[in-house]
């Protein structure tokens, strides 16, 4: 007898070597474990697949903005308690001491929220509904000041006056577009299939990056999710700007930091993406954290031969949820996401929150041909100048042989000049041009070219097209010192702009 038969799908050749037999039993054990997990999944499948957000989900955020506003809120409430205790007989109404920021927000909103409330277009909502004591709104010099804690960016020096620097730059895929995201989604789908994990409905949560996730071409790509990946239902949900970047940034930051440390210690030699991938697989797959393991995949090539170009969709920037159903040739879009009981059952026209989030809209994705010419483009990448806001530090292109760029503290974001304007520096700009107003910084230390001081009272008006970099790493203080990495990022941005015109 040459074979030992286990069952219809499990046979072992008796001529196998000891190593092959060991591998056979390992695979058999792994397959049995997967089947047990799959059986457990189907057994508990009646459990709700999605849950509504709870107040404590917001309270647990530890980003700088939420921690600082909590500190300010606590100080204000302590101040209010002090006023009430001191002037208990003089206060004629019952003044509420709020326990959380959510309680304050609820007071300023309508009882029955609508989509207009969410978009800050409701005339009834607002801080005018919040009662403030006279002591809380006084601005006289004799009034008591409320103080709270906030974070400050601090430069830490090591080895005297030397600062640590990144030694290795791994060249990434230069173009992150709908083709790149398609391959990533394909990799995830193949992995789920390899572990025998069936997926009927896939939920994606992303930011609003135009090139990767939120454009007509991206919408067209996900409209084929059922055909390409076998999902019966698919939703993509978009976070607001600067939200929900913690988990993925933490994962990427860990990988980069471990790679930096390995290079500094001479434990690894990383020069390209392949080297980084092999280092990660060898050293970071196993973990001591709550995650059992980390998975790494390497995409050597991104095919871009297929046609993933589609015709425009109006008001695409206001969309925050895209739904694909294999029973419909159209995609479903709406301004806000919802996971109520009806929406979880794909009965979107009976959504219980329709007054808050609005009606769904059906849209047919039409592919572009080579002869298609778009007269109106509503989903092109947002210009850098439109992302500038008051209080930021930006780098503007300098038409000066002695400077590559100038730093500007923004006082007024982008606006259009109604008439010709000359600023305090003698720069004259014609009417009709988009400009940004602010104050320049000047280098104050010849030995440290990255040390700057704000020049007060000399207003500068610069063309919006001159913005080359938004320095989100720099706090807009009177005196700033920033890292050399920021300086190099600005130079790279200038170089990319110059190369784009060649």
Rounded Cα–Cα distance for residues 104 and 404 (Å):
47
The region of weakest confidence among 27-36, 152-161, 210-219, 414-423 is 152-161
The whole-number pLDDT of residue 7 equals: 44
Task: Convert the pLDDT of each residue in 54-111 to its tens digit.
Answer: 666 666 667 777 788 888 899 999 998 888 888 876 766 678 888 888 888 888 888 8
Percent of the chain exceeding pLDDT 90 equals 6
Residue 36, pLDDT > 80, answer: no
The region of weakest confidence among 199-208, 299-308, 432-441 is 299-308
Mean pLDDT of 26-32: 80
Strand partners, 234: 202, 324
Task: Convert the pLDDT of each residue in 347-375 to its tens digit.
Answer: 888 898 888 888 888 888 888 765 444 43
Angle between helices 246-264 and 273-283 (to 10 degrees): 90
Task: Convert the pLDDT of each residue in 170-192 to its tens digit.
Answer: 335 557 778 888 888 888 888 88
Positive or negative torsion for Cα 136, 142, 144, 145 = positive
Mean pLDDT of 281-285: 84
Domains (range + CATH), the chain: 56-137 (no CATH), 172-382 (no CATH), 384-500 (2.30.30)
Mean pLDDT of 307-335: 84
Q: Averaging pLDDT over each range in 17-31, 135-149, 216-230, which range is the top one?
A: 216-230
Secondary structure (3-state) at 213: coil
Task: Convert the pLDDT of each residue in 192-203 to its tens digit.
Answer: 888 888 888 888
Rounded Cα–Cα distance for residues 275 and 23 (Å):
28
Answer whether 167's CB lies under 8 Å from 261's CB: no
The region of weakest confidence among 40-44, 253-257, 333-337 is 40-44
Q: CB burial class (10 A; 0-12, 13-18, 19+) of residue 181? A: buried
The whole-number pLDDT of residue 167 equals: 30
Show the 3-state SS of 157-197.
CECCCECCCCCCCCCCCCCCCHHHHHHHHHHHHHHHHHCCC
Closest CA to 377 of 231, 210, 209: 210
Answer whether 301's CB lies under 8 Å from 322's CB: no
The whole-number pLDDT of residue 391 equals: 85
Task: Convert the pLDDT of each residue in 101-142 to its tens digit.
Answer: 888 888 888 888 888 887 778 888 888 888 888 888 877 777
């Amino acid at each position: 007898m040459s074979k030992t038969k286990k069952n219809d799908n499990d046979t072992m050749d008796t001529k196998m070597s000891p190593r092959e037999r060991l591998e056979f039993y390992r695979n058999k054990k792994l397959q049995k474990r997967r089947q047990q997990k799959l059986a457990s999944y189907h057994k508990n499948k009646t459990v709700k697949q999605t849950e509504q957000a709870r107040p404590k989900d917001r309270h647990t955020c530890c980003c700088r903005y939420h921690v600082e506003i909590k500190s300010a809120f606590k100080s204000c409430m302590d101040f209010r308690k002090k006023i009430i205790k001191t002037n208990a007989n003089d206060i004629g109404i019952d003044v509420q001491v709020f326990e959380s920021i959510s309680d304050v927000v609820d007071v300023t909103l309508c009882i029955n929220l609508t989509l207009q409330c969410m978009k800050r277009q409701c005339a009834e909502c607002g801080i005018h509904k919040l009662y403030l004591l006279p002591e809380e709104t006084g601005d006289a010099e004799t009034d008591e000041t409320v103080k709270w804690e906030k974070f400050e960016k601090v430069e830490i020096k090591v080895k005297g006056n030397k600062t640590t620097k990144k030694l290795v730059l791994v060249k990434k895929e230069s173009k992150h577009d709908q083709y790149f995201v398609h391959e990533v989604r394909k990799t995830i789908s193949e992995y789920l299939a390899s572990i025998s994990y069936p997926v009927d409905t896939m939920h994606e949560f992303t930011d609003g990056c135009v090139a990767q996730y939120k454009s007509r071409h991206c919408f067209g790509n996900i409209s084929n999710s059922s055909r390409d990946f076998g999902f019966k239902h698919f939703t993509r949900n978009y976070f607001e700007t600067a939200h929900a970047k913690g988990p993925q940034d933490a994962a990427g930051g860990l990988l980069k930091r471990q790679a930096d440390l390995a290079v500094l210690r001479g434990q690894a030699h990383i020069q390209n993406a392949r080297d980084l991938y092999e280092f990660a697989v060898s050293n970071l797959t196993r973990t001591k954290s709550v995650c059992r393991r980390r998975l790494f995949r390497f995409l050597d090539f991104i095919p871009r031969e297929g046609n993933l170009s589609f015709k425009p969709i109006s008001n695409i920037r206001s969309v925050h949820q895209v739904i694909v159903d294999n029973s419909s040739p159209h995609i479903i879009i709406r301004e806000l996401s919802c996971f109520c009981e009806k929406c979880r059952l794909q009965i979107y026209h009976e959504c219980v929150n329709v007054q808050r989030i609005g009606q769904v809209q059906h849209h047919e994705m039409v592919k572009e041909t080579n002869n298609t010419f778009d007269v109106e483009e509503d989903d092109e990448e947002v210009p850098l100048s439109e992302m500038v806001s008051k209080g930021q530090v930006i780098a503007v292109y300098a038409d000066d042989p002695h400077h590559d760029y100038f730093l500007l503290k923004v006082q007024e974001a982008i606006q259009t000049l109604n008439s010709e304007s000359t600023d305090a520096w003698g720069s004259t700009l014609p009417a009709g041009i988009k400009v940004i107003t602010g104050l320049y910084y000047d280098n104050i230390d010849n030995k440290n070219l990255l040390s700057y001081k704000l020049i007060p009272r000399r207003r500068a008006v610069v063309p919006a097209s001159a913005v080359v970099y938004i320095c989100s790493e720099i706090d807009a203080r009177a005196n700033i010192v920033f890292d050399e990495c920021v300086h190099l990022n600005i130079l790279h941005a200038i170089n990319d702009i110059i190369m784009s015109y060649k």
